[in-house]
Amino acid sequence: MDACSWIFLGKGPPTAQSQLFDKLLPINPRKSKRKKSRPVLYPGNARKYLPVEQKSKAKRCLILFILIVGFQILNAIENLDDNVLKYDLEGLEKTLKRDVFGQQTAVAKIMDHLKDYLATHYHNKPLVVSLNGPSGVGKSLMGRLLAKHFRSVMDNDFILQYYVLHNCPKSSDVALCQAELSNLISDMISRAEIEEKIPIFIFDEMEAMSPPLLDVLQGFFQLNQTNEYLNAVYVLISNLGGSEITNYVLKNVTNSINTVEHDLCQIVWSILKGHHSIWKVAEIVPFVLLEQKHVMSCFLDELLQEGFYPDKEKIKNLAEELNYYTVNGTKYSTTGCKEVVGRVNLLHPIHRHIDLRTA
């Protein structure tokens, strides 16, 4: 580089001495000083521990919340069990299966409704169950068994059996019947609410109930009532839809149980809604025809109750005296077990003596 270039850069040309120092004194980079980490000092008489981690308060709250919810769930389950035990629904189911012949599906269905409803004391509507079928198939028997059972587990004041033709025959003053029925239901519900019980109302012969009386009863099925009126069970027993059930069963004997139950509910529902709107909120439980083997069971049960020896040949002969529909080799009783009691009563000596005198 010439002298002019050095002048332009603001420096003089390098001398021989500066060039010599550049060669003798190489420039070394500075080394950064590393700080030595100081050891953690502990007191001489103390044990060494790792630092304690801070526990999250949110985690504690979550655990507490889970425990509270779990306790409430367990408490609710215990309350459900207590209610079921209070009404002894297991014992009721055994009784119905033992004493109501040929209606396994109906028994299972009504027990499902009762178990669901009676599991708690607080409801948003009353339970209304309608038992429908031809005469003599066990509807009224089930009503009596329900009344008997609930009287045994609750006070008699919380059970009402209302027979329309007895409590309000056609010759009665309808307005008086309306007032009496309304007072009966209201008083029973009020007393039951005080003791946290659910009253059971069983109405038989519903096909004979007049429209004004049906209107009064329907008023207790409404949802816009005080809470105590929503905690009640109503069982409506009638022959409405009986002939339609008979025709369907005889024409569809090969159908599955689920199909038959679904179809019968639809058939009965179409009949009931045309009769009165009271059945709009009802759970339909159809009763089917009884086979000859079921009639024989009815005879056996009645003979034992009357103190007769249960001779199989005698039972078979008594059952064969009744009338039957025969479809695909299966016999269905035209009157169910309705004639069984009368036939067994004729076996008593006094009745046999009268028959011989009149012969």
Average of per-residue pLDDT across 103-117: 96
Q: Which pLDDT does position 349 carry in this prediction?
A: 74
Q: How high is the pLDDT of residue 155?
A: 80
Residue 60: pLDDT band by 50, 70, 90 thresholds? confident
241 Ramachandran zone, left/alpha/beta (phi>0; psi -120 to 50): left
Report residue 122's pLDDT band, with 50, 70 and 90 as the boundaries.
confident
Give the model's pLDDT for residue 353. 47
DSSP summary character for residue 37: P
Say which residues have a Cβ less than 8 Å from residue 94's Cβ, sequence separation at least 6. Answer: none
**Looking at residue 233, what is its pLDDT?**
97
- Give the pLDDT confidence score for residue 354 in this predicted structure: 45
Residue 324 has pLDDT above 80, yes or no: yes
Distance from C-alpha of 231 to C-alpha of 20, rounded to nearest angstrom = 114
Predicted confidence band at 350 (pLDDT cuts at 50, 70, 90)? low
Amino acid found at 142: M
10 Å CB burial of residue 124 (0-12, 13-18, 19+) is exposed
- Domain architecture of the chain: domains with CATH: 76-286 (3.40.50.300), 292-358 (no CATH)
Residue type, 165: L
pLDDT of residue 135: 95
Q: Where are the beta strands (DSSP E) in 156-281?
A: 159-163, 200-204, 233-238
pLDDT grade, residue 27 (50/70/90)? low
Higher pLDDT, 341 or 44: 341
The residue type of 66 is: I
Q: What is the pLDDT of residues 240-281, one digit of tens each?
A: 999 999 999 999 988 888 888 899 999 999 999 999 999 999
For 191-217, how does the pLDDT look when each residue is reduced to its tens digit (9 = 90+)? Answer: 999 988 999 999 999 999 999 999 999
Q: Across the chain, what does the average pLDDT equal?
A: 84
Q: What is the pLDDT of residues 143-164, one digit of tens each?
A: 999 999 999 998 888 999 999 9
Residue 1 has pLDDT above 60, yes or no: no
H or E segment to which residue 127 belongs = strand 127-132
Q: Which pLDDT score is estimated for 359? A: 44
Contact by Cβ (8 Å): 233, 126: yes
Helix (H) or strand (E) holding 185, with range, is helix 174-194
**Predicted confidence (pLDDT) at residue 357 exceeds the cutoff of 50:** no
| Integer angstrom CA distances of residue 271 from 130, 213, 218, 311 | 12, 19, 17, 42
At 42, the pLDDT band (50, 70, 90 cuts) reads: low
Tokens of 327: 């479809």
